[in-house]
Chain A
Amino acid sequence: MTTPIRVMLAKVGLDGHDRGVRVVARALRDAGMDVIYTGLHRTPDEVVTAAIQEDVDVLGVSLLSGVQMTVFPKILDKLKREGADDMIVVAGGVMPDEDAVALKRMGVKEVMLQDTPPQAIVDTLRKLVTERGPR
């Protein structure tokens, strides 16, 4: 039996809207993945601690509040310090195009904005995990 892809979906900060991330969670579940949802209002520290304990393949952070340029550097930094920088980090939500470019330069593997179809998210995660290879 093949091991399902493990994904953590996180909401960070004061952002109180999680209908979008729950739609994504459902789509990933229906694609056969194990999805761990953190719930709302987590800190970058808490999210990374949880993602490491859960040994997820992919950490997806959803933001609708505009704080991506402060949240993602903290997450990527802590992953590196904890020796877990082989974790695939992706972003979702609403943000300016130039921020998406900057995040990818920082090490975020993919940025999927609000108009991304669920199937495209499934395909992207499968591709990223395949590219990473076994661990």
Chain B
Amino acid sequence: MSRTVSSLALIDRVKAGEAAAIARLISRAESGAAEAHEALARIYGLAGRAHVIGVTGVPGSGKSTLVGKLCAALRAKGERVGIVAIDPSSPYSGGAILGDRIRMTEMASDPGVYIRSMATRGAVGGMARATLDVVDILDVAGFDTVVLETVGVGQDEVEIVRASHTTIVVSAPGLGDEIQAIKAGILEIADIHVVSKCDRSDANRTLVDLKQMLMGGLRAAPPGAWHAPVIGTSAFSGQGVDELVAAIERHRHFALESKSGEQRRLAIAEFRLRKTAENLLLDRFGEKIAQAGAPLAARLMRREADPYSVATELLNTALLRETGHEQDARSKIA
């Protein structure tokens, strides 16, 4: 590919499903470059057709392996599948080892599958900053289903539910007891629960704990609400994968036909709006805040100042530099 193709010029080739063009536009989205904003805005207008499945769970629960099996099953039905797999960046060097592809080798040279690995690059919540743009690009490129795999999460990274139409939470046997299962947080967001590694002897305990937790919520649920099924899977034996595909299909129809599905789509849009605004703010002020922050942090460390006043001072400084800069620009134009 020529080195200087504009992002806008890539759109037609993305629509035609050209792998190298899809790849390059994703890179531009990831870089956050202003050059790509107009193209990504156009992509948003063209997207909205794909069903987005979010897969989340603790590290080592088997998310990538499950995504691999799920993808193979969807391919068998003739669907084209895009996968966005996120792994953490090092907080020290900024580098990352992106290893999710290793678990998805079954479809390694299938043109109906597109796998993209992303590093979090400092973003929190389980996803990378450009994740939602990348989902849209794959949507426009003609992938019927886009599977979004978060980093291995803890108990509280629930943004995935605002980025996907169907959220799957993967639990592995042997981690925690029935108290873990009634805690607030990640288990609440599942549209479908999967207990992975069900070839293990202690898997039944996890299945029972989860089902009991959900029974507790049933009585409180309004009529017509979605009841998240609990599905045991094993990548080793293939158990449960067909059941999972059927559950996803049921949830997809439920979301299309029910009031709560529409509320979900609105919540997704609200999240997108807030995230994009946050990113624009970071682009504009992030560096200024980092520059102005160092001397203030030193004062804070020596307890010469309190966090509230230095934070206010920091924001004021950043805003002042911003407006000063704009006045500069205007006086140049004049």
Q: Do the two shown chains form a genuine complex with each other?
A: yes
Point out residues on A near B: beta carbons under 8 Å. 1, 3-4, 6, 25-26, 28-39, 42-43, 45-46, 49-50, 52-55, 82-84, 86, 132-135
Binds A, one of B40-48, B114-122, B156-164, B240-248: B114-122
The residue of chain B having its C-beta at the shortest distance from the C-beta of A48 within the complex is B109
10 A-B pairs with the lowest CB-CB distances in the bound complex, closest first: A55-B23, A29-B95, A39-B102, A46-B108, A135-B3, A32-B94, A36-B98, A3-B31, A55-B27, A32-B95
B96/A53 in contact, CB under 8 A:
no
Known: A50-B115, A53-B23. A31 touches B95 (CB 8 A): yes
Contact with A along B1-40 (1 / 0, CB 8 A): 1111000000000000001101110110011100000000
Known: A6-B27, A30-B95, A50-B115. 19 other contacts (CB 8 A): A1-B286, A3-B30, A4-B95, A4-B119, A30-B93, A31-B95, A34-B96, A36-B98, A36-B99, A36-B101, A39-B105, A43-B109, A46-B105, A46-B108, A52-B20, A53-B19, A53-B114, A86-B1, A135-B24
* Set of chain A residues within 8 Å of B93, measured between Cβ atoms: 29-32
**Any A CB within 8 A of the CB of B90:** yes
Question: A2–B102 Cα gap in the complex (Å)?
Answer: 27
Contact with A along B76-110 (1 / 0, CB 8 A): 00000000000001101111111101100100110
The residue of chain B having its C-beta at the shortest distance from the C-beta of A55 within the complex is B23
B102/A37 in contact, CB under 8 A:
yes
The residue of chain A having its C-beta at the shortest distance from the C-beta of B1 within the complex is A83
Please list 10 pairs of residues, one from A and one from B, whose beta carbons are closer than 8 Å in the complex, sorted by A's number.
A3-B31, A4-B94, A30-B93, A31-B93, A34-B95, A39-B102, A52-B20, A53-B116, A55-B23, A82-B20
Would you give the shortest CB distance from B143 to chain A, in whole angstroms? 12
Known: A29-B96, A82-B20. A46 touches B27 (CB 8 A): no
Question: A61–B94 Cα gap in the complex (Å)?
Answer: 23
Question: A7–B309 Cα gap in the complex (Å)?
Answer: 44
Question: A111–B156 Cα gap in the complex (Å)?
Answer: 46
B109/A35 in contact, CB under 8 A:
no
The residue of chain A having its C-beta at the shortest distance from the C-beta of B99 within the complex is A37
Would you give the shortest CB distance from B152 to chain A, in whole angstroms? 17
Count of chain B residues with a beta carbon within 8 Å of a chain A beta carbon: 36
B101/A34 in contact, CB under 8 A:
no
A38/B101 in contact, CB under 8 A:
yes
B24/A55 in contact, CB under 8 A:
yes
Would you give the shortest CB distance from B88 to chain A, in whole angstroms? 11
* Set of chain A residues within 8 Å of B2, measured between Cβ atoms: 86
Question: A30–B23 Cα gap in the complex (Å)?
Answer: 25
Question: A13–B4 Cα gap in the complex (Å)?
Answer: 34
Known: A34-B95, A39-B101, A134-B3. A55 touches B26 (CB 8 A): yes
* Set of chain B residues within 8 Å of A25, measured between Cβ atoms: 97
Question: A132–B4 Cα gap in the complex (Å)?
Answer: 12
The residue of chain B having its C-beta at the shortest distance from the C-beta of A9 within the complex is B97
A82/B98 in contact, CB under 8 A:
no
Question: A72–B94 Cα gap in the complex (Å)?
Answer: 31
Would you give the shortest CB distance from A1 to chain B, in whole angstroms? 7
* Set of chain B residues within 8 Å of A32, measured between Cβ atoms: 90, 93-95
* Set of chain A residues within 8 Å of B102, measured between Cβ atoms: 37-39
* Set of chain B residues within 8 Å of A30, measured between Cβ atoms: 90, 92-93, 95
Would you give the shortest CB distance from A83 to chain B, in whole angstroms? 5
Question: A76–B50 Cα gap in the complex (Å)?
Answer: 34
The residue of chain B having its C-beta at the shortest distance from the C-beta of A87 within the complex is B1
Question: A64–B3 Cα gap in the complex (Å)?
Answer: 33
B108/A28 in contact, CB under 8 A:
no
Known: A3-B30, A35-B96. A86 touches B3 (CB 8 A): yes
Would you give the shortest CB distance from A56 to chain B, in whole angstroms? 9
Which single member of B4, B32, B98, B109 contacts A46 (CB below 8 Å)? B109
Question: A37–B97 Cα gap in the complex (Å)?
Answer: 7
* Set of chain A residues within 8 Å of B32, measured between Cβ atoms: 1
Which single member of B1, B92, B105 contacts A84 (CB below 8 Å)? B1
Would you give the shortest CB distance from B95 to chain A, in whole angstroms? 4
* Set of chain A residues within 8 Å of B117, measured between Cβ atoms: 34, 36, 54
A35/B108 in contact, CB under 8 A:
no
